[in-house]
Amino acid sequence: MRVLLTNDDGILAEGLIALYEELKGDFEVSVVAPETEMSAVGHAITLSNPLRVRQFKRNGVFFGYGVSGTPADCVKIAVHEILKQRPDIILSGINMGSNVGINILYSGTASAATEGAFLGFPSVAISLNTKTDPDFSFAARFSRRIIRFVMENGLKEGTALNVNIPTIPEDQIKGISFTTQDLVRHRDRYEKRNDPRGNVYYWLAGETPVEESVPNTDLKVLMENRITITPITFDLTDLKEVKRLASLDFDL
């Protein structure tokens, strides 16, 4: 089985390396990832600059291809130009930090998976719910179960899986839940600072929820120490609102 690995933390990120080390013995693994960190770039692609691709080595051995672009760029160029054979599945991650709720829209990790789904490949984004001292070992092992589950059961065309794993000991994880995306709104907090030349700049310093999470959403379930699996898609159409608007008197 051929597995394509990518991420948004950069080709030498610990989470990506953990996935590679876990899977390389039993799968034909290819790595095509941003050469530098590309967190929170969403589904951006590069149009005004050339994409540069270069080989990366680890411990003197070829590891994968670093791309001077976004996670979505990496999936596109891997499939269309770099790989000699099409992958059977695409894994994006392991991201350091969860990707739940509205943050899915900003996530380069999730966007790489939805780009893979758009191109017709079973695709999964995997994130670990921590920003400090990550232990990716269980998340990497769990990726095997995800691969087996997807290949045995399939995915609806155009749908990817967004997986979030609690950062607690494996024996304390309370199970797996298929969830919906949490839609809680946040209030952003910015720090206002001055650079050495006296110019004002702002730094995004945090987000505070302004609503309660709804049961069985990814954010709520992850806080309950369960693994969340959320089917996501690139179709942003609000079908109910289309029907409502079409019923109104609005024409030329």
The pLDDT assigned to 207 comes to 76
- pLDDT the model gives residue 186: 76
Indicate whether 207 belongs to any domain: no
Query: What are 115-163's pLDDT values in tens digits?
Result: 999 999 999 999 999 999 999 999 999 999 999 999 999 999 999 999 9
Domain membership of residue 198 (yes or no) is no
Q: Band of the pLDDT at 243, cuts 50, 70, 90?
A: very high
Query: Is 197 among the domain residues?
Result: no
> Can you tell me the distance from the alpha carbon of 123 to that of 155, in angstroms, rounded to the nearest whole number?
9
Mean pLDDT of the chain, nearest integer:
95
pTM over 0.85: yes
**In-domain check, residue 160:** yes
Assigned domain for 61 exists? yes
Answer yes or no: is 201 within a domain.
Answer: no
pLDDT mean over 191-216 = 87
Q: Which domain holds residue 101?
A: 2-182+214-246
Give tens-digit pLDDT for 139-152. Answer: 999 999 999 999 99
What is residue 210's predicted lDDT score, i.e. its pLDDT?
65
pLDDT digits (tens, 9 = 90+) for 67-113: 999 999 999 999 999 999 999 999 999 999 999 999 999 999 999 99
CATH code for position 142: 3.40.1210.10
| Confidence (pLDDT) at 106 | 94
Q: What pLDDT score was predicted for residue 208?
A: 76
Give the residue-averaged pLDDT of 9-38: 97
Tell me how many domains the chain contains: 1
Residue type, 92: S
Residue 196 located in a structural domain: no
In a domain, 204, yes or no: no
Secondary structure string (H, E, C) spanning the chain? CEEEEECCCCCCCHHHHHHHHHHCCCCEEEEEEECCCCCCCCCCCCCCCCCCEEEEEECCEEEEEEECCCHHHHHHHHHHHHCCCCCCEEEEEEEECCCCCCHHHHCHHHHHHHHHHHCCCCEEEEEECCCCCCCCHHHHHHHHHHHHHHHHHCCCCCEEEEEEECCCCHHHCCCEEECECCCCCEEEEEEEEECCCCCEEEEEEEEEECCCCCCCEHHHHHHCCCEEEEEEECCCCCHHHHHHHHCCCCCC
Confidence of residue 251 (pLDDT cuts 50, 70, 90): confident
